[in-house]
Amino acid sequence: MENVLIGHSNDDYTGVSVVIFPQGAVAGVDVRGSAPGTRETDLLRCGNAIQKVNAIMLAGGSAFGLDAAGGVMRFLHEKGWGFNTGKHIVPIVSSAILFDLNDGKLHFPDSEMGYVACKNAQSDTLTGGRIGAGKGASVGKVLGLFYSCWGGVGVASLKVGQATVSAIVAVNAFGDIYDCNNGRIIAGAKIGDGEFLDTAKYMMNNDLSMYTSGTNTTIGVVFTDAALTKEQANKLASVSHNGLAMSIRPVHTMLDGDTLFAASTGDVKTEFNSLCVGAAEAVRLAVINAVKPK
C-alpha cells in the first residue's frame, strides 16, 4: 500500500513494530481491554485538534516499552515528518504496549530499538511471526506461562471494492486463539496430554480471583487507502475489534489491554459498511496468522 512503511526490531525477549505514514494518516483508536498501556491516544478523539498521525508504534515491555516511541519520534524528526508548529516539527506517534516481562531480568524496548525499527521500515512489507512487538508474546495463560503457546505478530490484507485494507496485530492474549469457521482452538492453554484446555469453559467453572491482572494484551493497526474522516477512522477502529472477538476467546477481559488503531492514507472511494466488514476480517486473519507455525 502506498504511503505506508512497516518495520520491526527486537532482541531475544521483546521488540517494537512500527507503522509509519510519511505523508500522515487520518487515524482513530478504540481501547477495549481493561488493562491498557497507551500514548497519544486522546488526540485521536473526534473534536481534538490533531487530524493526522505520522506513525503508530506497537511494543512489548509493558509500560517501560512506551520509551521506544522516543526513538520513533527522533527518526521521524530527522526525516521532517511531523506536525509543523511554525518553529519545530513535532512527530505525532500514537502507541500501545503489551506485557512480555516474563524473564527474571527486566527487558524492554528502549528508544534505540524504536529508532532501529524505523530504520528497518519498508513499503509493502507485511511480515509476521515472533518478531517486533510479538517477540515475547504468548497466548492462553489461564494456567500460567508454562502451559501457554507462543503468540507473535500477524498480518493480513484484502480488497474491499477498489480499496485495500490491511491489519498488523501483536497477539499476547489471555484467551485462546480459535478458528471461528470450525470452532477449533489453534493456540492457547494446554493440559498435560497436550490437548487444549478451553479457557472460556475453564473460567466459568473455576475461581480466577488470584490471577494477576494486566499481564496480557492484543494490540494492532488497521490501515487502508480508503478515504476516511476522523470520525470514520474511530468507528473503523471500534468495529475492527469484531475481528478479535471472532478469533480470541475470551477477549476484552479485565486481564487484557486490547487496543486497535485505524488509519487512512488514501482517497479511494469505498462503501463504509463494507470496509468495516473487511477490516474485521483482516484483523481476524492477522490474529490467526500470528500463531500459525512458521
Q: What is the pLDDT of residues 4-33, one digit of tens each?
A: 999 999 999 999 999 999 999 999 999 998
Arithmetic mean of pLDDT, 216-236:
97
**Which phi and psi angles does 25 have, rounded to 5°?**
-145, 135
**CB-based burial label for 207 (10 Å; 0-12, 13-18, 19+):** exposed
Task: Give the pLDDT confidence score for residue 28 in this predicted structure.
Answer: 97
Instruction: Provide the phi-psi class of 280: left if phi over 0, else alpha when psi is between -120 and 50, else beta.
Output: alpha
The yes-or-no verdict on residue 210 having pLDDT over 80 is no
Domain 5-291 falls under CATH 3.40.930.10: no
- Rounded-to-integer distance, Cα 18 and Cα 39, Å: 14
Domain ranges of the chain: 5-291
**Contact (CB, 8 A) for 217 and 97:** yes
pLDDT bracket for residue 123 (50, 70, 90): confident
